Amino acid sequence: MKHDSRRRPLVVGEGRISGYLSITLGVLSTLAVLCFLFPDALTTPELRAGYDLGWMRVFLGVGMVFSAGFGVLTFVLGRQRHLGALGLLLTGLAFWLGGTGVQVGPRYTAPGYIGLDWFILDLLGSALIFVLIEKIVPREPGQPVLRPDFWHDARYFVFNHLTIGIFIFIGHVMMPRLFAWSINADLQAWFRDLPGIVQFAVILFLADLVEYAIHRTMHEVPWLWRIHAVHHSAEHMDWLAGSRLHVLEPLVTRALVMLPAFVLGAEPGPLLCYVIFAGFQAGLIHANVGLRFGLLEYVFTTPRYHHWHHASDREAVDVNYAAHLPIIDRLFGTHHLPSRRWPDRYGVIGEPLPKGMVRQFLYPFRRRAT
Ligand SMILES: [Zn+2]
Ligand SMILES: [Zn+2]
């Protein structure tokens, strides 16, 4: 059955790996061309400011060449020709829309945007970096890339990335309105005079304090737990598992963790470093990575640290809430990191969550089974 073939582990030489790569790169190339055509509606203003158009065209060209190459390879390997055909069709579509020679579309003031560029860059970056690390130093060597629920979490990845623009937009609009009273010009001037690395460290610490408070509240208030339980329903940990989030969770968390940086008036440089660091760490701590981090394990949260947070072992219920710095869990007595051991299993204890994104979205609003 079609469903089953998507879930079978990938085998080298069969044509599915090259087929999936061809389709993925074909989709991303087409989306990238659309980003050129409709920059204001489809790209993130903060990222757009840092792009070099020449290099973006080179990346697009490389993506299209690899997409076509993997498509042809799939044909040569023979058994999955429909995947190769789709990949080649998508590369053709990117080419037809303008390819690397595409002109930047007319500019206008968009009321909001879809962060397609962030989706493309994060998917390419995360998949390349984390799948590679997971293959080199896996925590669970037998876990395939297409592990159970891979496609379920992939849907969350797509959905959460495409809606991030809405969250950032709400944050931009709401934050100045709700917290304008907290702005102090002297405090902001003093903070901006601090070295960038100090600003980064302060933002990281304060954002994690906020994150800790929200995260712990979500575990301790029963209705909020039903929202956060979606994240904890993952039974297989890897770079993609962290994407499984009920849509209401990032809506609250992403806006509030930025509050300290907003109040302190942080410089754009340290702020961007924080956003990149937080994004990378979020992928890493969920990843199927068994790397030993030595002394760093005391300073930053690691895969083993956050895997204990996801454990359904009794010893590890409601521990390790911090997203970046374990010291915060130590301060509040919720730190749990047995030396060198990993959890036995992951997931929620008790009532299992329904399967599927829509059912999981509705889960917190449903009457509890008695
Ligand atoms: Zn949690
Ligand atoms: Zn997590």
Q: How far is the CA of 242 from the centre of ligand 2 (A)?
A: 5
Both 58 and 198 in a single domain?
no
Both 118 and 190 in a single domain?
no
Both 118 and 264 in a single domain?
no
C-beta separation of 277 from 325 below 8 A: no
The tokens of 234 are what? 């993952």
Q: What share of the chain is helix, strand, coil (3-state, %, to 5)?
A: 65, 0, 30
Distance CA 177, CA 99 (A): 42
DSSP code at position 363:
G
Q: How many domains does the chain have?
A: 2
Instruction: Please tell me the number of Cα atoms within 13 Å of 48 on its side-chain side.
Output: 17
Both 235 and 296 in a single domain?
yes
Longest CA–CA span in the chain (Å) reads 68
What does the pLDDT profile of the chain (370 residues) look like in tens digits?
Answer: 344 566 666 667 677 888 989 999 999 999 999 999 998 888 887 778 778 889 999 999 999 999 999 999 988 887 778 888 999 999 999 999 999 888 888 887 767 778 888 889 888 888 889 999 999 999 999 888 888 899 999 999 988 887 776 776 676 777 778 888 888 899 999 999 999 999 999 999 999 999 999 999 999 999 899 999 999 999 999 999 999 999 888 888 887 888 899 899 988 889 888 988 998 999 999 999 999 899 999 999 999 999 999 998 888 889 999 999 999 999 999 999 998 899 989 998 887 888 888 998 998 888 765 4
From the number of C-beta atoms within 10 Å of its C-beta (0-12, 13-18, 19+), residue 263 rates as: middle
Both 120 and 250 in a single domain?
no
Three-state DSSP class for residue 235: coil
Last residue of a domain, one of 74, 99, 125: 125
Distance CA 295, CA 301 (A): 11
The bound ligand whose nearest atom lies closest to the alpha carbon of 348 is: 1
Both 121 and 187 in a single domain?
no
Q: How far is the CA of 225 from the centre of ligand 1 (A)?
A: 9
Both 103 and 174 in a single domain?
no
- Is 11 part of a structural domain of the chain? yes
C-beta separation of 36 from 105 below 8 A: yes
- Is 105 part of a structural domain of the chain? yes
Q: How far is the CA of 194 from the centre of ligand 1 (A)?
A: 33
Full domain range(s) for residue 315: 164-365
- Is 81 part of a structural domain of the chain? yes
- Is 289 part of a structural domain of the chain? yes
* E strands present in the chain: none
Last residue of a domain, one of 125, 150, 185: 125
Residues 6+ apart with CB under 8 A from 225: 218, 219
Instruction: Give the residue among 55, 61, 114 at the shortest CA–CA distance from 91.
Output: 61
Q: How far is the CA of 216 from the centre of ligand 1 (A)?
A: 7
Both 319 and 200 in a single domain?
yes
The pLDDT of residue 2: 43
Q: How far is the CA of 235 from the centre of ligand 2 (A)?
A: 11
Both 179 and 321 in a single domain?
yes
Cα distances from 173 to residues 42, 112, 162, 240, in angstroms, run: 19, 11, 19, 30
DSSP for 244-300 reads ---THHHHHHHHHHTHHHHHHT--HHHHHHHHHHHHHHHHHHHS-B----TTHHHHS
- Is 295 part of a structural domain of the chain? yes
Q: How far is the CA of 237 from the centre of ligand 2 (A)?
A: 9
Q: How far is the CA of 207 from the centre of ligand 1 (A)?
A: 16
Q: How far is the CA of 335 from the centre of ligand 1 (A)?
A: 13
Instruction: Give the residue among 33, 149, 197, 44 at the shortest CA–CA distance from 102.
Output: 33
Instruction: Give the residue among 195, 212, 233 at the shortest CA–CA distance from 322.
Output: 212
**Sign of dihedral through CA atoms 289, 127, 311, 218?**
positive
C-beta separation of 260 from 185 below 8 A: no
Instruction: Give the residue among 348, 317, 329 at the shortest CA–CA distance from 212.
Output: 329
Both 169 and 119 in a single domain?
no
- Is 30 part of a structural domain of the chain? yes
- Is 210 part of a structural domain of the chain? yes
The tokens of 322 are what? 């911090």
Which single residue is written with the structure tokens 């917290």?
Answer: 179
- Is 154 part of a structural domain of the chain? no
Both 244 and 337 in a single domain?
yes
Distance CA 289, CA 304 (A): 8
The pLDDT of residue 52: 86
Distance of CA 339 to the CA centre of its chain: 28
Distance CA 20, CA 87 (A): 8
The pLDDT of residue 7: 63
∠ CA 145-320-196, rounded to 5°: 90
Distance CA 133, CA 153 (A): 19
Both 169 and 82 in a single domain?
no
